[in-house]
Amino acid sequence: MGKVHNYSAGPCILPQSVFEEAAQAILNYQDSGLSLIEMSHRSKPFVAVMDEARALVKEILNVPDGYEVLFLQGGASLQFLMAAMNFLPEGGKAGYLVTGTWAKKAFKEAEPMGGVSLASSADKNFSYIPKGYEIPKDLAYFHLTSNNTIFGTQVKDFPESSVPVICDMSSDIFSRPIDVSKFDMIYAGAQKNMGPAGTTLVIVKKDALGRVNRRIPTMLDYSVHIEKESMFNTPPVFAVYASMLTLRWLKSNGGIPWITERNQAKADLLYGEIDRNPCFEGTAAKEDRSNMNACFLLTNPDKGEIFDQMWQEAKINGLKGHRSVGGYRASMYNALPLDSVQALVDVMQEFEKKHG
């Protein structure tokens, strides 16, 4: 069939070596005669997987002492609720930066408990990141979403805050340097840069917990999951294992410095073509453009069927924009190679020659 250039927004592309090693583990894990997914999660082989996955997160992101790393279930959507349950006391307030669909959903979960919107970019269809807003000192925490997959915007500089900061980094975790010490909690669904869908990474400052005056259901209590080392209930074994393999791949290639340079090269190549080519236009404010999700439109939408046929014939997959906004979205997560971006740029240039 030949190479497919996978721009899917999530579940998304992962390194080929991860697929190959994970496939072997499904058939026969470490010559044990057993599949990874039929072993007890309490067995020594899987406990070693969980321990290594957590250790790799700490090493790659330089997580400071005093933070715990968890692999949970329920996706980032469950974290919208868990964050508020664990950090927002009854009668308190939490501030939210509303920059897209998922940020809006996070705010919706917290609003009944005291969540307030500090700033929103809904006035321009979430095409920019608000700036110049104030973070009140009486908040229980400030919540933001680092990258907005649907609208293609990304927070480039995190604001200084005198209150605890919680960040949803689902779609750009491990893609660039971050100072974990600036956050009381970071959470991220695995299915963008870390692994297959099914597990969610949580990095939480341990002494920030236990301060709310509400009863937290056991399954939603971070302290419980910390005590049980991410195994309060049966963990998503395969998703954790594949995430561990992806983190090994990232570390072996040079970690965050390597992937940052690689991701910037991909973004520069594609945005350069979008800006140069009169057949296309970007949708996000240039200073807030995401390095992970480049959203763009045809300047002549009547030629959409022609362009669609061209990129599909070039074995490009997953380029359509989110159903709520239309247009096109090129998701350039860590494992997407530069030559896949070049393949898309080649199609865009050929389209210009024939139909511009």
Query: What CATH number is associated with residue 276?
Result: 3.90.1150.10
Render each residue's pLDDT in the chain as its tens digit; 356 residues: 568 999 999 999 999 999 999 999 999 999 999 999 999 999 999 999 999 999 999 999 999 999 999 999 999 999 999 999 999 999 999 999 999 999 999 999 999 999 999 999 999 999 999 999 999 999 999 999 999 999 999 999 999 999 999 999 999 999 999 999 999 999 999 999 999 999 999 999 999 999 999 999 999 999 999 999 999 999 999 999 999 999 999 999 999 999 999 999 999 999 999 999 999 999 999 999 999 999 999 999 999 999 999 999 999 999 999 888 889 999 999 999 999 999 999 999 999 999 98
Instruction: Given the residues 31, 51, 58, 102, select the one marked as catalytic.
Output: 102
Residue 297 lies in a domain: yes
179 with 305, same domain: the answer is no
212 and 74 part of one domain: yes
Query: What is the Cα Rg of the chain in Å?
Result: 21
Q: Is residue 3 part of a domain?
A: no
* 270 close to 296: Cβ distance less than 8 angstroms: no
265 and 239 in one domain? no
154 and 290 housed in the same domain: no
44 flagged as catalytic: no
CB 67 within 8 A of CB 208: no
Is the residue at 318 inside a domain? yes
Locus of tokens 């939603």: 220
Catalytic residue among 168, 172, 184, 221: 168
CATH number at residue 140: 3.40.640.10
Closest alpha carbon to 135 in 155, 111, 163, 157 = 163
Last residue of a domain, one of 208, 236, 253: 253
Beta carbons of 154 and 286 less than 8 angstroms apart: no
Task: Point out the domain boundary residue: 253, 287, 319.
Answer: 253
- Give CA torsion, residues 343, 296, 324, 102, to 10 deg: 90
Q: Are residues 260 and 248 in the same domain?
A: no
Q: Compute the C-alpha angle 81/84/85, nearest 5°.
A: 80
Q: What is the pLDDT of residue 338?
A: 98
Residues in the chain: 356
Say what the pLDDT of residue 169 is.
Answer: 98
C-alpha distances in angstroms, 113 versus 85, 108, 109, 214? 8, 10, 8, 11
Answer yes or no: do 131 and 271 share one domain: no
191 and 262 in a common domain: no
Q: DSSP assignment of 63-99, as one string?
A: PPTTEEEEEESSHHHHHHHHHHHHH--TT--EEEEE-
Whether residue 182 sits in one domain with residue 70: yes
* φ/ψ of residue 125, rounded to 5: 55, 40
Q: Is 213 exposed, middle or buried (0-12, 13-18, 19+ CB in 10 A)?
A: exposed
Rounded CA-CA distance 301/311 in Å is 15
10 assigned to some structural domain: no
Q: Identify whether residues 225 and 266 lie together within a single domain.
A: no
Q: Is residue 175 domain-resident?
A: yes
The 3-state DSSP class for residue 348 equals helix
CB 203 within 8 A of CB 61: yes
Q: What is the pTM of this model?
A: 0.97
Of 198, 228, 253, which residue is a domain's last? 253
SS (H, E, C) 206-274: HHHCCCCCCCCCHHHCHHHHHHCCCCCCCCCHHHHHHHHHHHHHHHHHCHHHHHHHHHHHHHHHHHHHH
Asked whether the beta carbons of 199 and 236 are under 8 A apart, the reply is yes
Is residue 67 within 8 Å of 118, Cβ to Cβ?
Answer: no
Which of 172, 184, 192, 288 is catalytic? The answer is 192
Within-domain flag for 2: no
Q: Any idea what the Cα angle at residue 120 is, between residues 194 and 275, rounded to 5°?
A: 65
Q: In total, how many domains does the chain have?
A: 2
Residue 260 included in any domain:
yes
Q: Are 197 and 331 found together in one domain?
A: no
Shared domain for 102 and 211, answered yes or no, is yes
Is there a single domain that holds both residue 260 and residue 249? no
Q: Is 192 an active-site residue?
A: yes
State how far the Cα of 268 lies from the Cα of 70, in Å rounded to an integer. Answer: 34
Residue 105 lies in a domain: yes
Which range of residues forms the domain containing residue 260?
A: 255-355
d(C-alpha 202, C-alpha 303), whole Å: 44
Active site residue 102: yes
CA angle 63, 66, 69 (to 5 degrees): 55
